[in-house]
Structure formats: C-alpha cells, structure tokens
Chains A and B, each alone.
Chain A
C-alpha cells in the first residue's frame, strides 16, 4: 500500500464518519420517538391500542350460549368448558368455564366462531403474576343457566348493552368488515 492510498483511506474514513455523525447530530433537533412506559404516557397504553388488539381473553357469561365452539376452535386446548343440558327445563347449565392464560397464545381463533361475541380479547396485556395457578381464569363461580338468544331483539335492559358490545366486536373484529372499509 502506497502512502497515497494510506492517506486517501484515512480521509475517506473521516469523511464518511462525519456524514453519519451529522445524521446522528440532527436528532438533537428532531422530535424524540421514545415513549416512556408505563407512567409517562398521556393516556393509558391500553386505551391507545387498536380495536383489534388481541390481549388477555375475557368472557361475558351473561351472553355465553354454552355452544362449545371456542373450545373446539382452540388449537392448544387452553379453554375448558363443562356444560350440561338440564333434562327438565331443557336449558344449558354452565358448570365450568376456565381459560388457562399461561397456555393461551392469543391467536384469536376462539373469538371468531362465537355466535354472540361473548369470548373476546381485551386490550389488557399486563398479566404478570407470581404463579402459573393464578393465571387460570375461572369464570363460572357457581353453576348458571346459559344465555338463550330470543327470537327478536334483546329486551332485558341488563343484557342488552352487553350483547350490543359483543355483536359490535363480532362485526369489527371477528368477521371480515364491509368492503367499503379502508377508504
């Protein structure tokens, strides 16, 4: 290597380093990108997430029909439901509805076949806990009668808003939206 090449190499190295450094330095006057999680955000991070966000699973037992569609759709069997048909009243009795959140992989396949939007993902994602046992969410505290959709619109003032939420969830998340969306 001649002296000329040697000097040229040093010059090129310095020049290209300063080009890069100029870009780095320009970040002094640009808007910072970092968001300080969790305590310095303007709104809760959970509230800023998109509607389709797949966080921890939740079940609205008021509108669960006990059809077991979610249990069958789950590829890792993290949902366990015990439902029995009462011989006399012909009603479905839910005895157990457990979701093992430690197993759940948040794929969303369970909420797609749900007819009422009862099982759904919430924007909650902070699920850390001290034991695996406490990550098993047991939704049924005492055996209860499963929801039976009426022929017409829902009239019970307590169930109606929950069902409205469930159906909105199905519309916007679980089924392909209307073709006009995205404009």
Chain B
C-alpha cells in the first residue's frame, strides 16, 4: 500500500531524518478549519504528526437532558440543533422514535413530504461538506460555488417551513405543513438546473490534479478498520462497504424509490482514502436528485399529519429508530414512563464515531493533512457533543 504516512521512528533509527524534539501543538478550539469548536492536541515531530488527540465537549448543550424537561412536542425544535447542517433528518429521527413508541401511522403524503425535505437537507449538507473540503485545503473559489447552490436549497426549504437552518418542519405523526402552492414546479426547476452543476463542480475542482494529490492516498481507512471503528454513512461507504440504512433497514417510503448506493472505488489511489470519501458525497448528491424527482412526481393526495393529541402521552416502553442522516446512521433511543415527558433520550451520531478514528488515522500524517482528514470525514462539532 503506498500512502503518504511517514514513520518518524524508522526515519530516526535509519538516520534519514533530522531528529527533532517532540512538539505539542494546540489546534483549535477556534481554528477556522475545524468546522465548529473542536480542539486537537497534536504531538508532532517537525511537520509529521505522531498523534492528534481530539478534545471534545466545547459544544455540549445537554440536549438529551433537555428532552426530559420539555416534553415530546416541545423537543422537536431542539432536534434541529443536534446537527444543524442537516436538521431535517434529525427532525425525522425524533418524530419516528415517538411514533414507534405510540404506534402512530404517518399518512402517505406526510411520508413523501418528509422524504422530499430530508433529501433537500442531504443535498444542502453534502454541498457544504464538499465546498468546505476544498476551502480547507486551499481552494476557496469552489466553496462559493457550493454555497451558492445551497442558498437556493435554503430558499426552497424556507418556502416549505419558514426557516433556513432550524426547520422544525416535522411533527409527531407527520409534517407541520403541506407543500406550498407551486412547490413541485419550483423544486423540479431547481433540480433541472442543479444536476448539470454537479458535473461542472467536478470539472472545477474534483479532477484538479493538485486537489487529487492532496486527497488521494491520504488517511486511508481499510474496510476492516472502518467496520471496527463503527464508521457510518459516506465515511463507511468510502471504504467500499455498501451499507445504507435507507436500503438495508428501510424506513419511511424509501423502498418505493429507485436509487443506487455509491461506494468508494479507489479510482485515484487506495480504496478508502480521503478522495473516495469525497467522491462518495459527490455521487450521493446525484442519487438524492433521483429520489427527489421520483418523490415530487409521485406524491399522493391526502393529509400530511395524523391525529395526535396535543398532550402526547405514549405508553410505557422504549423505542430505537435509525435514520440515514447526511453523516450516516443516526440512532434515536427514547424511553417512556407513561408521562408527558420522556424518561431518557439518547442520540447516536455519525460524527462521534468519525471523531474517534482520527487519533488512529493521524499517526504519521503531515499537520496540513489533518484538516483534509477532518473535512473529508465531514465532522460537525455540535453533532459530536450534542
């Protein structure tokens, strides 16, 4: 396997390198390329890292504890803040967990609205991720291109639910509002314009030789390691494991749609390198467009929300549901003791697993590659801490 990793100890023993003293560096918590408030304690020998130890907890807001205080309906706006880059899927996870507790069936139109909202959320999240990857390793222009399209998606979602980031769109039993008049036409028009732009974006940056050299063969996660570290979502698929909750443990109306699950191929380097993870996200955007087109074309008539009492008291029990969020398998665990407030809520997020692998990955990488690793693992700090 040819990788960029350099073993400092071997260099020192063979006398090839200039032996320097180990240096402890602080990266973050306010570093611009750490995607939020993250801190790494980097032990480095010159430019080469021995290890980077992630220090988490700067964005801990006790969201799980808040759920025990505000009740089932009132917790919905807080789920937006779990992962604010793709809030729709968090909404969906919480709603599905409560529905599983109480055995509520969502109307079909409601499920379609959820899928449409979620997939637009996934597009917005992946656009930010691929744009920020470019910016973190020194290409600023692609970021503006990605953010430009993300603004249009925000416009669409704003029309749907009245907010651009913290949507609070879904409710227990369905969605808060139906699609506004003319929504289908405008959304389809956006997709017609957006799909060619993915190819343009690829030409702009993805195939750029310098860009490829910065990502290919960097921070390779072999298949077994990805599974052992419990990686999920595009990070896992980048290592060649074809696993997607939408396909393998289907929920909502996803079984009705035709779409592929893109996996890493090692096209420019080794299977599971940073470039594979990046390209999986680019290809997933195309698949999301496919799902959106089918959902917009086939949306049935009917109500969008089931009848749910305003004081929601589910029976005693517990429920665990999984949704495929933009950063992978997101698990929502809720325990009910029969009152209007949940007894315990726990959220399992993809970024937390991705954070755990960084210490292992960073051995022998250059310091400048650490930002590429964070960017391609698509770590969002609030999702790590919650």
Contacts and interface: CB of A to CB of B under 8 A. Distances in A.
B210 A17 contact: yes
Q: SS class of chain A's interface: helix, strand, loop or mixed? A: loop
A182 interface: yes
Interface string B62-83: 0000000011011111100000
B167 to A, nearest CB: 10
Contacts of B177: 52, 173, 176-177
Interface string A102-136: 00011111001100000001000000000000000
A149 interface: no
B190 interface: no
Interface residues of B, number: 45
Interface string B204-240: 1101111000000000000000000000000000000
Given A19-B203, A19-B208, A180-B301, 10 more contacts: A13-B209, A13-B210, A52-B162, A54-B163, A106-B166, A109-B73, A176-B175, A176-B176, A177-B178, A181-B179
Contacts of A105: 77, 166
11 contacts: A16-B208, A20-B204, A51-B180, A52-B177, A105-B77, A106-B163, A107-B77, A173-B162, A176-B177, A179-B109, A181-B180
Nearest to A24: B141
Contact of A50 (B71, B159, B200, B210): B159
Interface in A91-110: 105-109
A121 B162 contact: yes
A51 B178 CA distance: 13
A37 interface: no
Nearest to A14: B209
A173 B162 CA distance: 9
A5 B1 CA distance: 20
A53 B162 CA distance: 4
Nearest to B175: A176
Interface string A4-20: 00000100110111011
Closest 6 CB pairs of A and B: A75-B74, A182-B179, A107-B77, A52-B162, A177-B178, A13-B209
B207 A19 contact: yes
Interface of B: 70-71, 73-78, 109, 141, 148, 158-163, 166, 168, 174-184, 200, 203-205, 207-210, 299, 301-305, 310
Contact of B205 (A20, A50, A51, A109): A20
Nearest to A53: B162
A12 B301 contact: no
A19 B182 CA distance: 38
Interface of A: 9, 12-13, 15-17, 19-20, 23-24, 33, 49-54, 73-76, 105-109, 112-113, 121, 173, 176-183
Given A19-B203, A173-B177, A52 B209 contact: no
Contacts of A182: 178-184, 299
Nearest to B160: A52
Given A107-B76, A179-B302, A182-B180, A12 B203 contact: no
B181 A181 contact: yes
A73 B73 contact: yes
Contacts of A181: 178-181
